Amino acid sequence: MDHVDIIEDVIKVEKLVDLVTSPSYGAITTFIGTTRDNFDGKNVTRLEYEAYIPMARKKMLEICGMVREKWKVGNIAIVHRIGVVPVKEASIIIAISSAHRRESLESVHFAIDTLKATVPIWKKEIYEDGSNSWKENTEWKHSKING
């Protein structure tokens, strides 16, 4: 199963883990990206995310396909939250199950790296002093040339 979603609500890790759990797969790896309270010494109040939703879903499904080309995995769930994401809350959760652990561990690492390089989602950091900044993933610079 490939489950991708972009939601405006809190993402529950337990829900994604339940989604990918199966009697056939003994390993589940999850990656959770949460809002930090600081960047370069500035206090971050919250993040605001926006997405090119249909294209982002498409790119997330492409990541599922790439994962399945590289590893024998069971179920994949990738959910990104948009809108305001307060400090400590999750903006992204990826959960992948596999029969043995190596596949789920390596493929989750690959999936988050690839998501940061290819999925059209944007993050604005809002600082305590009222200023803000649109962020840029370093992975994007490297992948831009290859479209």
User: Facing residues of 137 across strands?
Assistant: none
- With CB under 8 A as the rule, give the number of residues binding its own copies: 32
Q: Which stretch binds its own copies (CB under 8 A): 49-57, 64-72, 100-108, 120-128?
A: 100-108
Under the binding rule (CB under 8 A), the answer on residue 131 touching other proteins is no
Under the binding rule (CB under 8 A), the answer on residue 111 touching its own copies is no
> Can you give the three-state secondary structure of 98-144, one letter per residue?
ECCHHHHHHHHHHHHHHHHHHCCEEEEEEECCCCEEECCCHHHHHHH
- AA letter at 104: S
Helices (H) and strands (E) in the chain, counts: 4, 9
Under the binding rule (CB under 8 A), the answer on residue 141 touching its own copies is no
Under the binding rule (CB under 8 A), the answer on residue 46 touching its own copies is no
Q: Which stretch binds its own copies (CB under 8 A): 6-14, 61-69, 76-84, 127-135?
A: 6-14
- Shortest approach of its own copies to residue 25 CB, angstroms? 7
Out of 13, 18, 39, 54, the residue judged to bind other proteins by CB under 8 A: 54
Collapsed DSSP state (helix, strand, coil) of residue 135? coil
Between CA 20 and CA 133 the distance in angstroms is 35
* Residues of span 106-125 touching other proteins by CB under 8 A: 112, 115-124
Under the binding rule (CB under 8 A), the answer on residue 134 touching other proteins is yes
Q: Which residues bind its own copies (CB under 8 A)?
A: 12-14, 17, 21-38, 87-88, 99, 101, 104-106, 108-109, 112
